[in-house]
Amino acid sequence: MQQSTEVAPGARVIPNVVAPRPVAAPAREASTADKPAVIASDLWAYFGDTAAVKDVSFAAPAQAVTAIIGPSGCGKSTLLRCLNRMHETAPNTRVEGKVEILGTSIYGEGTSATVVRRHVGMVFQRPTPFPTMSIRNNVAAGLRVAAERPQSRAGLQDTIEEALKRAGLWEEVKDRLDDSAMALSGGQQQRLCIARALAIRPRVILLDEPTASLDPLSTQKIEELVYHLRETVTVVIVTHNMQQAARVSDRTAFLLVGELVEFAATNALFTAPKDPRTEAYITGRFG
């Protein structure tokens, strides 16, 4: 079922979405060379005694989309969850190594996981709107604890509107902001979660298989959204869907049983993989 939902829209989307990329690419290359937004060095993540992420080092460029691909259980979600310190919220877990977000070490002494998460937003595989809240309050949910929160009621409205516009949901919900979030479709709920994450103006946003539970049309909308998000925020997206990675990302990391096999510009990785394991995976010989 998943195969068909993912491959079908891909064939249609590639020409539209990927075409403008060469135009935008040079500018991004320049900023990439300047300062990567996310740098992981010698990163290990454990569940109990089992290492799910093994000695991974990579650097995600600022204001670009970095995709993490790999077969199920390869540790790609765990790797993502190390980037905003969500991994440690599960019992019996441990992280070793270093992660720098915009030059700040997030595992350094005296850093607070909750403050880190206000700068590094996250959206999950299944939409997780707060079911008892209205659409408006869902978007505002993070603002109650955000680092820079709007001072006035009007400022709050502007922030909510801006977040919903950035998430491409404003036109669909502007007349019913006080309806329950559960009245939205699955795809709309997921974009609401993206709006909720964007409302607190994170510098980096992490997407953990954001389209895995969505239909092809909703998937396409989210992919277009991700493609445009790079203009304002650094995106790291985990996906088990290679076409999706090819469509939306600038750089791609290929993970296999917790190890980073290859990390390269997306075009290069998909057209000329250097590692034979990468080639085997992207040509569909396993996973």
Partner 1 sequence: MTAIPADSAPKDRRRLAVHRVEIGDRIYEILTTACALVVPALVTAIAIAIFAAAWPALTKLSASIITSSDWDVGAGRFGAAPALFGTIVSSAVALVIATPLAIGVAIFLSEFSPRWLRQPVGFLVDLLAAVPSVVYGLWGIFVLIPMLREHVMPFLRDTLHLGATPFFSGAAYGPSMLAAGVILAIMALPYISAVSREVLLAVPRSQREAALALGATRWEMIRDAVVPYAKSGIIGGIMLGLGRALGETMAVTMVIGNRPEISASLFAPGYTMASLIANEFSEATSDLHLSALMAVGAVLFIITLIVNAIARWLVWQVSRERAI
> Comparing C-alpha atoms, which of 129, 128, 134 is closest to residue 180?
134
Query: Is 92 among the residues that bind partner 1 (CB under 8 A)?
Result: no
Query: Is 191 among the residues that bind partner 1 (CB under 8 A)?
Result: no
Q: Return the residue of 41, 93, 180, 267 that touches partner 1, per CB under 8 A.
A: 180
Query: Is 196 among the residues that bind partner 1 (CB under 8 A)?
Result: yes
Q: Whole-number minimum distance, CB 261 to partner 1, in Å?
A: 28
Could you say which residues in the range 217-236 bind partner 1, by CB under 8 A? none
DSSP string, 194-229: HHHHHHT--SEEEEESTTTTS-HHHHHHHHHHHHHH
The CA distance from 157 to 162, in Å, is 8
The window from 23-31, 55-63, 111-119, 157-165 that contacts partner 1 (CB under 8 A) reads 111-119
Nearest to partner 1 of 86, 256 (CB atom)? 86
Query: Is 210 among the residues that bind partner 1 (CB under 8 A)?
Result: no
Angle formed at CA 41 by CA 26 and CA 87, multiple of 5 degrees: 105
The CA distance from 281 to 271, in Å, is 12
Token digits of residue 128: 């997780």
Nearest to partner 1 of 77, 278 (CB atom)? 77
Q: Return the residue of 87, 117, 203, 251 that touches partner 1, per CB under 8 A.
A: 117
Q: How many CB atoms lie within 10 A of CB 135?
A: 28
Which residues make beta-bridge pairs with 100?
Answer: 39, 105
Helices (H) and strands (E) in the chain, counts: 12, 10
Q: Residue 110: what are its φ and ψ, rounded to 5°?
A: 80, 0
Query: Is 111 among the residues that bind partner 1 (CB under 8 A)?
Result: no
The window from 1-9, 22-30, 71-79, 192-200 that contacts partner 1 (CB under 8 A) reads 192-200
Query: Is 183 among the residues that bind partner 1 (CB under 8 A)?
Result: yes
Could you say which residues in the range 61-90 bind partner 1, by CB under 8 A? 84, 86, 89
Q: Return the residue of 118, 136, 166, 240 that touches partner 1, per CB under 8 A.
A: 118
Q: Return the residue of 13, 194, 197, 242 that touches partner 1, per CB under 8 A.
A: 197
Query: Is 114 among the residues that bind partner 1 (CB under 8 A)?
Result: yes
Helix (H) or strand (E) holding 120: strand 120-123
Nearest to partner 1 of 133, 264 (CB atom)? 133
DSSP state of 129: -
Could you say which residues in the range 130-169 bind partner 1, by CB under 8 A? 130-133, 141-142, 144-147
Query: Is 31 among the residues that bind partner 1 (CB under 8 A)?
Result: no
Number of residues counted as binding partner 1 (CB under 8 A): 31
Q: Cα–Cα distances in Å, from 6 out to 19, 28, 102, 268?
A: 19, 28, 33, 22
Q: For residue 184, give every residue at least 6 positions away whose Cβ sits within 8 Å of its Cβ, in sequence order, or none.
A: 129, 135, 173, 192
Query: Is 115 among the residues that bind partner 1 (CB under 8 A)?
Result: yes
> Comparing C-alpha atoms, which of 120, 137, 121, 138 is closest to residue 129?
138
Residues 143/200, Cβ–Cβ less than 8 Å: yes
Nearest to partner 1 of 76, 117 (CB atom)? 117
Q: Which residues of the shown chain bind partner 1 in the complex (CB under 8 A)?
A: 84, 86, 89, 114-118, 121-124, 126, 128, 130-133, 141-142, 144-147, 180, 182-183, 193, 196-197, 200
